[in-house]
Amino acid sequence: MKDVLIVLAQSLEQPRIVKRINQKAKEYGSVHVYGFTRNVHSVQNHKVLEENANVTVNVAGKLKNGEYIKRIFVFLGLLWTLYVKYGFRKKNVYVFGLDLRIFSFFLLNAKVDYEISDIVWLYDGRTKRRIFSSIDHFLAKRSRKVVFTSKSFYSKYYTKSVNENQLVVAENKLETYGKVRPIESMPVDKIRIAYIGAFRYTEIIERLIQVVSKNNDLVLNFYGGTHDGLIEKIEGATKANANIYYHGPFKNPDDLEKIYGENNLNFVVYNNTQENEQVAMPNKFYESGFFNVPIVCATGTYVGERVLEQGMGWTIDIDYDSISEFLNSMTIRELETYHQKIKELDKGQFIM
């Protein structure tokens, strides 16, 4: 077993990060985590790390979206902490995201493994994109390993900067911790739509709410949170409509079996005009596959291709008419057919 691993994480509440730290705890004798809390999630997902005797969690501060100047000072404080504790000797470091990969460049004698779950510069304008993509490729090339949560990230954007010896594909599969099991039967009284996780893509969510509000045979359940004004719109929709509900943040995976058991359609229609979303692999794919709940994704996306290949559901476009036509023509019988198909799939491909 290897000696010490230093982990730098943007969010200690992100289940993917917690899962990866748990994995690394099996490879290293000691794992020292330096992470941040965020102003979105508040369910203490990182508490599961306390079950590992060889994992030490240090909260380095709180990061708020948009406060990038303050973030620089927080990072400088962390840099000082790391040099005081580890000095200039050789060190193994695992980082999540481009900002912390930039930060880790200033750690001397560090062998860095770099995990990419979103290509953040794809959201930027031309000038910023050129600058940050160049920085990203420069740092990826100089990383010991580059870990992608979607194979399409690598194949479309990183083949020139990451060689095969560096490449690791570690999809964001479900870690059950023995706490949840597949669902053997779904509710069949109405079409019950789940929107699970971080609430993004405001226009798509507004269209979804509008469609559901006009059809009492549809039920829409929101689980999760967001950091902008969208939460007020969702809460407003729940007050104005008897068939729309907001259930608040949830603990992963503890609450997932209950969540998926309350629904029969997983709505994972993300913005397919954004390049990152076109190649990402959301964890909802693996959750639907494990819990046997049919899933609908956006057309023109890698996750949508995987859904169709596995016979797990459908793809639709993101405009109002497409969402409306799909949901208003859906039947319980069709959902049950896909539910049975998913039950026959090997669950090993969806879990860690």
**pLDDT mean for each 10 residues of the chain (352 residues):** 89 90 94 83 67 90 72 89 96 96 96 97 96 98 98 97 97 95 97 95 97 98 85 95 96 96 98 97 98 98 98 98 98 98 98 94
Cα–Cα nearest to 129, from 138, 137, 121: 121
Q: Which CATH architecture does the domain made up of 2-169 adopt? A: 3-Layer(aba) Sandwich (3.40)
pTM across the whole model: 0.92
Structural fold of domain 191-349: Rossmann fold (3.40.50)
pLDDT for residue 68: 67
pLDDT for residue 120: 95
pLDDT for residue 279: 97
pLDDT for residue 66: 62
Q: What is the DSSP string of 124-153?
A: S-HHHHHHHHHHHHHHHHTSSEEEESSHHH
Same CATH fold assignment for domains 2-169 and 191-349: yes
pLDDT for residue 190: 97
Radius of gyration of the chain (CA): 21
- The residue extents of the domains of the chain are 2-169, 191-349
pLDDT for residue 62: 80
pLDDT for residue 61: 83
pLDDT for residue 37: 80
Hunting for tokens 């999540």 — which residue is that? 96
Cα–Cα nearest to 281, from 155, 141, 111: 155
Both structure tokens of 26: 């099996």
